[in-house]
């Protein structure tokens, strides 16, 4: 495989395309509302109306406005809630402007789309994720080729460092620094791991990326492996994402067949292999040390750090672990340069962030906005507030590890630091909108129930503290609690936060502390006088 070969594949692929394309979303969200049946109906109609020569029905990845699936795009026109019975009018409208399709039309000028800046999602909803040639046709794998032939590993790391990219898994550790730490470790072999164990309730960013553009992640991992000196990569995906797993498998197979993964990639001396490891349903395996234990085939228990994975990771070897979205940012950074990337976002948080906007919001879906976009813009303008005219009360970011931001603080620009100062975290990007009818104590209890069930049971504060916290919250909700219980709740939350071994326990009380901070009145109202 050489650069000219990539260009040839791209050209051949473009040449065989038909002039008019009907794109339909076949990511998990739209598939669950029947997009496969819609596709079949569209295909049937195209044949029936004799348009097979010029029209093709193309499966693509996530088209983002998940709450209004199935989504179909015909020559730049978006149609929402498409059902198979809409197919005849949709296909007929291609040739005859006077026909109005029976499916409701959407608009890309809507704030939901207009405020987005797709970098990670630039190919999502545009290409077929199950077809490597389509990825190559939009310039895919050219950056890997460029890196292997014209950049040293140090130059790659410098570019990532200049970009200011920070880990998108939630903690926001500078990616360039992590890469350079792994690169400098003398011990070999080294490993690259992609954390795709997205387990926060309400989060589906990584799933959408894997289902919509898996090659982007593979290319990012390969570039990372070259930069740090690794020859083996693992993608740790949760078993609850069967579609993402099958697309990744397909992508890896296709890349191997095209000799983009394997040995002597693009004629260089660089070898790289990627294998998939499927989780077994444990949330804690998203924690990096537990994840590595799980890859090694052991019980997914976290261990104390240091040593950090960069020093002693998989089988005691230096290991680079990044999240799906972090790897997906690598290709555009290499293509456009670190300077370009660092021009987007805020002073401390560069680039864009993908959020899964969900909960009691009108426009549920996947959004990618520059860092520093205000919560008001995200929730009220892009999401258009609550669906049924109710008032928005707050938004929960960071899932069970994060906290809530009340509507009064919606002018906060979203970045790692601003969210931290509000007592929540960026997290991996789940944004759950809460309306005025939601009881915040109930919300806190919901997350505590989640953590109680997902703690691995290794350390005392997390194993027993979460159970006790859950019981206290239940007592408060039942109206049996007194001021003293509220005090115990605070004390125990502080204990679990400060003494737990890993991130799961250290962040488990956050929803409680955060709701106590902003909605203490709701707790007080439930107390026995």
- Dist CA 343 CA 94 (whole Å): 40
Report if residue 454 touches another protein, rule: CB under 8 A. Answer: yes
Strand order in the sheet with 232-237: 273-278, 232-237, 191-196, 319-323
Residues 288-307 that bind another protein (CB under 8 A): 299, 301, 303-304
Report if residue 464 touches another protein, rule: CB under 8 A. Answer: yes
CB of 201 to another protein, least distance (A): 16
- Dist CA 41 CA 20 (whole Å): 17
- Dist CA 248 CA 64 (whole Å): 20
Instruction: Indicate which single residue of 32, 75, 100, 491 sits in contact with another protein (rule: CB under 8 A).
Output: 491
Q: Which two tokens stand for residue 424?
A: 């929540």
Instruction: Indicate which single residue of 139, 342, 488, 527 sits in contact with another protein (rule: CB under 8 A).
Output: 488
Instruction: Indicate which single residue of 207, 277, 350, 458 sits in contact with another protein (rule: CB under 8 A).
Output: 458
- Dist CA 101 CA 122 (whole Å): 28
Count the neighbouring beta carbons within 10 Å of the beta carbon of residue 135: 27
Round to the nearest angstrom and report the end-to-end CA distance of the chain.
75
Instruction: Indicate which single residue of 189, 316, 457, 479 sits in contact with another protein (rule: CB under 8 A).
Output: 457
Instruction: Indicate which single residue of 54, 436, 483, 498 sits in contact with another protein (rule: CB under 8 A).
Output: 498
Report if residue 459 touches another protein, rule: CB under 8 A. Answer: yes
Q: Which residue stretch of 36-44, 58-66, 438-446, 454-462 sits at the interface with another protein (rule: CB under 8 A)? A: 454-462
Nearest residue to 68 (alpha-carbon basis) of 58, 79, 60, 59: 79
The 3 state secondary structure assigned to 17-44 is CCCEEEEEECCHHHHHCCHHHHHHHHHH
CB of 493 to another protein, least distance (A): 11
Report if residue 466 touches another protein, rule: CB under 8 A. Answer: yes
Integer CA distances (angstroms), 291 to 31, 234, 437, in order? 29, 11, 38
Q: Which residue stretch of 118-126, 325-333, 363-371, 452-460 sits at the interface with another protein (rule: CB under 8 A)? A: 452-460
Residue listed under structure tokens 């990372």: 224
Q: Which residue stretch of 59-67, 77-85, 86-94, 463-471 sits at the interface with another protein (rule: CB under 8 A)? A: 463-471
Integer CA distances (angstroms), 258 to 60, 133, 230, 262, 375, in order? 21, 9, 21, 10, 43
Report if residue 474 touches another protein, rule: CB under 8 A. Answer: no
- Dist CA 270 CA 2 (whole Å): 14
Residue listed under structure tokens 């919509």: 212
CB of 276 to another protein, least distance (A): 23
Nearer to another protein, 232 or 301 (CB): 301
Nearer to another protein, 301 or 326 (CB): 301
CB of 296 to another protein, least distance (A): 15
Nearer to another protein, 310 or 501 (CB): 501
Binding track over 214-243 against another protein, x by CB under 8 A = ------------------------------
Report if residue 490 touches another protein, rule: CB under 8 A. Answer: no
Report if residue 456 touches another protein, rule: CB under 8 A. Answer: yes
Report if residue 501 touches another protein, rule: CB under 8 A. Answer: yes
Strand order in the sheet with 20-25: 55-60, 20-25, 72-74, 77-79
Nearer to another protein, 483 or 498 (CB): 498
- Number of residues that make up the chain: 529
Report if residue 312 touches another protein, rule: CB under 8 A. Answer: no
Residues 265-284 that bind another protein (CB under 8 A): 282, 284
CB of 247 to another protein, least distance (A): 29
Integer CA distances (angstroms), 121 to 196, 344, 429, in order? 16, 15, 14
CB of 461 to another protein, least distance (A): 6
Q: Which residue stretch of 83-91, 121-129, 149-157, 493-501 sits at the interface with another protein (rule: CB under 8 A)? A: 493-501
Instruction: Indicate which single residue of 402, 461, 509, 511 sits in contact with another protein (rule: CB under 8 A).
Output: 461
| 382 DSSP 8-state letter | I
Report if residue 479 touches another protein, rule: CB under 8 A. Answer: no
Nearer to another protein, 258 or 463 (CB): 463
Report if residue 471 touches another protein, rule: CB under 8 A. Answer: yes
Nearest residue to 323 (alpha-carbon basis) of 434, 200, 413: 200
The two most distant CA atoms of the chain are separated, in Å, by: 78
On the question of a cis peptide bond just before residue 491, with omega within 30 degrees of 0, the verdict is: no
Q: Which residue stretch of 227-235, 243-251, 439-447, 487-495 sits at the interface with another protein (rule: CB under 8 A)? A: 487-495
- The per-residue DSSP string of 487-515 comes to HHHHHHHHHHHHH-SSHHHHHTTHHHHHH
Residue listed under structure tokens 């993608």: 235
Query: Contact positions toward another protein, by CB under 8 A?
Result: 282, 284, 299, 301, 303-304, 452-461, 463-468, 471, 488, 491-492, 495, 498-501
């Amino acid at each position: 495989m050489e650069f000219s070969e990539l260009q040839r594949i791209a050209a051949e692929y473009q040449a065989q395309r038909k002039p008019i394309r009907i794109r339909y979303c076949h990511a998990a969200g739209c598939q669950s509302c029947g997009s496969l049946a819609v596709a079949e109906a569209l295909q049937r109609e195209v044949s029936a109306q004799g348009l097979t020569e010029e029209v093709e029905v193309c499966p693509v990845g996530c088209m983002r406005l998940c709450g209004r699936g199935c989504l179909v795009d015909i020559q730049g026109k978006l149609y929402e809630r498409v059902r198979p019975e809409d197919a005849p009018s949709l296909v007929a409208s291609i040739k005859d402007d006077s026909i109005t399709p029976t499916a409701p039309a959407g608009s890309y000028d809507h704030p939901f789309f207009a405020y987005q800046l797709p970098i990670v999602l630039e190919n999502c909803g545009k290409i077929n994720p199950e077809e490597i040639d389509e990825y190559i046709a939009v310039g895919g794998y050219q950056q890997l080729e460029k890196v292997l032939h014209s950049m040293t590993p140090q130059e790659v790391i410098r570019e990532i460092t200049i970009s200011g990219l920070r880990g998108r898994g939630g903690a926001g550790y500078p990616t360039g620094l992590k890469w350079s730490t792994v690169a400098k470790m003398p011990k070999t072999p080294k490993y690259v791991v992609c954390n795709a164990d997205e387990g926060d309730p309400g989060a589906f960013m990584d799933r959408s990326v894997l289902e919509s553009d898996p090659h982007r992640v593979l290319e990012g991992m390969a570039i990372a492996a070259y930069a740090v000196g690794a020859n083996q990569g693992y993608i740790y995906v949760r078993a609850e994402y069967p579609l993402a797993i099958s697309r990744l498998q397909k992508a890896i197979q296709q890349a191997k067949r095209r000799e983009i993964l394997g040995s002597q990639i693009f004629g260089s001396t660089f070898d790289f292999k990627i294998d998939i490891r499927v989780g077994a349903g444990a949330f804690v395996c998203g924690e990096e040390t537990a994840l590595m234990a799980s890859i090694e085939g052991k019980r997914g228990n976290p261990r104390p750090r240091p040593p950090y994975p960069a020093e002693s990771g998989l089988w005691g070897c230096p290991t680079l672990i990044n999240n799906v979205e972090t790897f997906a940012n690598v290709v555009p950074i290499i293509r456009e340069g670190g300077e370009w990337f660092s021009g987007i976002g805020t002073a401390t948080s560069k680039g864009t962030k993908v959020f899964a906007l969900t909960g009691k919001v009108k426009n549920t879906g996947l959004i990618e906005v520059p860092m520093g976009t205000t919560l008001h813009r995200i929730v009220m303008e892009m999401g258009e507030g609550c669906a049924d005219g109710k008032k928005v009360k707050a938004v929960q970011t960071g899932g069970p590890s994060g906290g809530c931001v009340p509507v009064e603080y919606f002018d906060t620009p979203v970045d790692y630091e601003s969210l931290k100062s509000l007592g929540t975290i960026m997290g991996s990007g789940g944004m759950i909108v809460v309306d005025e009818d939601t009881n915040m104590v109930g919300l806190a209890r919901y997350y505590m129930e989640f953590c109680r069930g997902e703690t691995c049971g290794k350390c005392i504060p997390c194993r027993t503290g979460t159970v006790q916290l859950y019981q206290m919250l239940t007592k408060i909700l039942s109206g049996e609690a007194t001021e003293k219980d509220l005090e115990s709740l605070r004390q125990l939350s502080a204990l679990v936060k400060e003494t737990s071994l890993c991130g799961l326990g250290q962040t488990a009380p956050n929803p409680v502390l955060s709701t106590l901070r902003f909605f203490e009145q709701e707790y007080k109202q439930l107390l026995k006088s």
